[in-house]
Each structure stands twice: as C-alpha cells, then as structure tokens.
Amino acid sequence: MNTLKISLLILFAAVFFAAFSVADCGGCSSHKADKSSDHHSEMKAGNQVMCPVMGNKINKDVYADYNGKRVYFCCAACIDKFNKDPEKYIKSLTEEGVEIADAPVLQELCPVTGNKINTKYHSDYKGKRVYFCSQKSKDAFDASPDKYFDKVKWEEEKKDK
C-alpha cells in the first residue's frame, strides 16, 4: 500500500473511533469506563453535573453562592476563576439548560436593621455569609462587623431553641 492509502486508512479509523466513543454521551467527559453513572438522567433534568470552569464532574462539597444561587465546581481553584467573572459562567450554565440550584439561606433578618434580608446584599465574615436588607446596611456591617455579627440569627439556631 502506498503512503496516501495508509494515511487515509488511519484517518478513517481515528474518525470512526472518535464518533463511537462519544456517541453514548454527546461528548460528555464526566465518566471514565464506569457506564453505571446516572449523570445522564441528571443532565436531562437540568441539574448541574459539570464544572462551569473546567468542564469536569462537579464535587458537591466545592461550591460558591452567587446572587442567591449555588454553583458547584470540580475543585477550589475553579471558585477563584469563577469569582473573577461570575456572570460569564452563570450565562454559560443557563445557555446549556442547567437549572442552577438556589443557595440555602440560613438567615432571615438583617443584623443591622432587623428587616427582611435581600440575598443580593451580603458579606462573608468568620466563615459565614451574612445577608442584609440593603447596601447601606451592608456598608455599616463592613465598617464594624463585630458590632453586628452576633446579632445574626441563623436558621439552625432557631431550630435548636
């Protein structure tokens, strides 16, 4: 056989292999040889199964809350990339048909005013996300967080009492 025929045969074999190796998953790379994964049904339901930054399978222990939504990632490094341009990744997920989960809200009232919170306004302090009713309340908290932090009523505390 001449070199051209061998090259065409190799090319045909590569295309054939590639087509059949992704046909069962539409190009999904989230599973290896394990075909028992049920992520296909999750994908059809619109659940997030892939990291919006790297495209790997998500780890439910690695996430960021943004504008009242919880976005999952494959690793902590992806959270940093997400935080640089969260709207880009949110848009990508929604365009893919992913229904982004609501972030659990463990607080109902603003620690500054006592009014109902708006998840749009928040600060992270001492490992907790604190929500406020307005930008003015958020600014007051940010200026003196220790003054207000102990006033936060967490939902799990209410259940225990």
Q: What is the pLDDT of residues 64-85, one digit of tens each?
A: 988 878 999 999 999 999 999 9
Cβ-proximal residues to 62 (8 Å cutoff; 6+ apart), any chain: 72, 73, 74, 75, 76, 78, 79
> What value, to the nearest 5°, has the Cα angle with vertex 136 and ends 89 and 153?
80
Q: Considering only CA atoms, which of 69, 65, 85 is closest in space to residue 129?
A: 65
Burial 74-89 (b: 16+ CB within 10 A, else e): beeebeebbeeebeeb
User: Does the predicted TM-score (pTM) go above 0.75?
Assistant: no
Rounding to the nearest 10 degrees, give the CA dihedral for residues 130, 157, 118, 70.
70
Which of residues 4 and 138 earns the better pLDDT score?
Answer: 138
3-state helix, strand, coil in the chain (%, to 5): 40, 20, 40
Q: pLDDT tens, 40-62?
A: 444 445 889 999 999 999 999 89
> Which DSSP letter does residue 74 get?
S
